[in-house]
Amino acid sequence: MSLVGYGVLVGVPVISTAWVRLLGFTEVEVGRVAGADLGGLAIGAVLTALVVANMNRRVLVLIAVAIAVGANAACLVMVSYEQVLWLRLIAGIGSGIYTAVAIATLGGTAKPARAFNLMLFAFAFSQALEMYVLPQLSMNGIYLVFIGCYVFGLLFLHWIPPRPVDKSLDVEVDVAESDGEHHVEHRHVPAYVPWLVLGAMVATYINIGAYWTYIELASLASEASPTWVSQLLVYTSFFSIVGCLVATVISNRFGLARPLLMTLVLQAIIVGMLAGGINNTNILISMFSFNFLWIFVDVYQMSTVANVDHSGRFAALMPGAQGLGQILGPNIAASILAAGLGYQGVFIMCALASLTGMLIYLFMYLRLRKTIPALADAS
């Protein structure tokens, strides 16, 4: 269900190009529409976070499907920019509720890091499938695929627990005693910890949202081969699989925080390198690295929140933080393009957003090292 909920986010490069080619939207309008869709994701997730700890989650899923299917169906007949803008916002809200319930449920499992890793492993295959299938469809065909996926997800509704088992915000810490024995203590985690993670998530998804929305359009305006770039959108998705495996190995050895800090620095470098111009070589390096590191970021961020939040309230906000970053990223990029700063300005902004996320995590990590060291280096 989480894969279905993230379907539009994954397919943004292809959908953005389809809006330009099939509906005649401008590059700036594409940024606004993509931002509305992904901003709706944020709104839906925030609404879900308010009630997910107490309301029946299966009812929430049914409401989400009704909203998402209805809005996507309306897009089949309403094709003007203003109509599509509002319909994608509504569809995004349904998607946000749907995704937030799925993520909150995964976060409440006994081993959330493993659950998110498995989700992202499957995510790599679904991403590649979307990149391959969606470009071959009409605009209505793309909307019908989304409708079908939401309806298909209802088959798994009985797997969703109606309510969370535990609503506490704490973490288990292994404490060594003077005689060498160990015992487990429950330490309350300050609320600022998950909020800082969510804030950093917004910053990192400003980068991801802008990059992923405009990467194909930027390449079409460069010396890179359009056919080459279309192939990369498919094949680089599979590199996320490697990212899942490597992320698990690294986090088991070094924890979550330190690898995440390094990942965000590297991500800033690989998106910023395109500011000097795009060619077949550097877009290959950038797109492969981007997909590889994207998985790192998601695994580490989601697992950090899930380690301390058992109610699902903060976990449900993760798609909201991602969606907020996704609405800000494309809209900031659209404003940069409207100001005549070109794609060079867009990629510089992406790099700065990634570094901003890194600085937020660095602040959180240093604070936790002083208060709850075991959580700071948790895996």
Quote the CA–CA distance of 109 and 303 in Å, as a whole number. Answer: 11
**Paired residues of 187 in beta bridges:** 171
Q: Is residue 375 predicted with pLDDT exceeding 90?
A: no
Q: How far is CA 377 from the centre of its chain?
A: 23
Quote the CA–CA distance of 358 and 356 in Å, as a whole number. Answer: 5
Nearest to 208 by CA among 319, 325, 103, 33: 325
Quote the CA–CA distance of 75 and 37 in Å, as a whole number. Answer: 12
Neighbours of 58 (CB within 10 A): 17
Q: Calculate helix-pair angle for 139-153, 7-23, nearest 10 degrees.
A: 160
**Paired residues of 184 in beta bridges:** 174
Q: Which helix (H) or strand (E) holds 170?
A: strand 170-176
Q: Is residue 131 predicted with pLDDT exceeding 80?
A: no
- pLDDT tens by residue, 98-126: 988 888 888 766 676 677 777 877 777 77
Range in 70-84, 156-170, 350-364 the model is least confident about: 156-170
Which value, in Å, is the radius of gyration of the alpha carbons in the chain? 20
Q: Is residue 197 predicted with pLDDT exceeding 80?
A: yes
Q: In 327-370, which ranges are E strands?
A: none
| pLDDT in the model for residue 110 | 65
Categorize the per-residue pLDDT at 324 as very low, low, confident or very high, splitting at 50, 70 and 90.
confident
Prediction pTM value: 0.75
Quote the CA–CA distance of 206 and 350 in Å, as a whole number. Answer: 7
HEC sequence for 150-163: HHHHHHHHHHCCCC
Quote the CA–CA distance of 21 and 41 in Å, as a whole number. Answer: 25
Structural domains in the chain, sorted by start: 2-163+188-376 (1.20.1250.20)
* Average pLDDT over every residue of 116-138: 79
Our separate counts of H helices and E strands in the chain read 15, 2
For residue 375, the number of C-alpha atoms closer than 13 Å in the C-beta half-sphere is 27
